[in-house]
């Protein structure tokens, strides 16, 4: 069974708000009070939702800032799956164990 791959928050914004409302990136940027470049990066999956952006999205589109932050965190963690595999191997089978002395 394959792992669930969460959508980037930008994809969610595009599919649930921009497309149904017929909003352009320029109109969306104006509503959010950010540059077109900023929202374009997020929509295209090259930018992340920051706490400030989460608040802006909450005010403009209604979903809670916490839900935007959770969505970004879940996406980011899934992107780290390869690093996780490497860390599991190295941390479970350390070649050198350092112990702090009290």
State the CATH number of the domain containing residue 27. 1.10.260.40
Inside any domain, residue 77 = yes
pLDDT for 95: 67
SS3 33: coil
What pLDDT, on a 0 to 100 scale, did the predictor assign at position 1?
46
Q: Does residue 49 sit within a domain?
A: yes
Coarse DSSP helix, strand, coil percentages of the chain, rounded to the nearest 5 percent: 65, 0, 35
d(CA 35, CA 82) in angstroms, rounded, equals 33
The CA distance from 3 to 5, in Å, is: 6
**Is residue 98 one of the residues assigned to a domain?**
no
Q: Is residue 1 part of a domain?
A: no
Q: Which domain holds residue 79?
A: 9-91
83 three-class SS: helix
Encode the chain (102 residues) as per-residue pLDDT tens digits. Answer: 456 789 999 999 999 999 999 999 999 999 999 999 999 999 999 999 999 999 999 999 999 999 999 999 999 999 888 788 888 888 887 665 556 555
* DSSP code per residue over 50-91: -HHHHHHHHHHH-S-HHHHHHHHHHHHHHHTHHHHHHHHHHH
């Amino acid at each position: 069974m394959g792992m669930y791959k969460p959508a980037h928050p930008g994809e969610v914004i595009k599919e649930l708000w921009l497309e149904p409302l017929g909003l352009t990136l320029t109109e969306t940027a104006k509503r959010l009070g950010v540059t077109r470049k900023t929202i374009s990066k997020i929509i295209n999956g090259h930018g992340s939702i920051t706490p400030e952006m989460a608040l802006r999205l909450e005010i403009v589109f209604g979903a809670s800032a916490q839900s935007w932050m959770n969505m970004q965190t879940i996406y980011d963690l899934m992107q780290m799956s390869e690093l996780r595999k490497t860390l599991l191997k190295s941390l479970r089978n350390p070649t050198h164990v350092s112990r702090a002395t009290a």
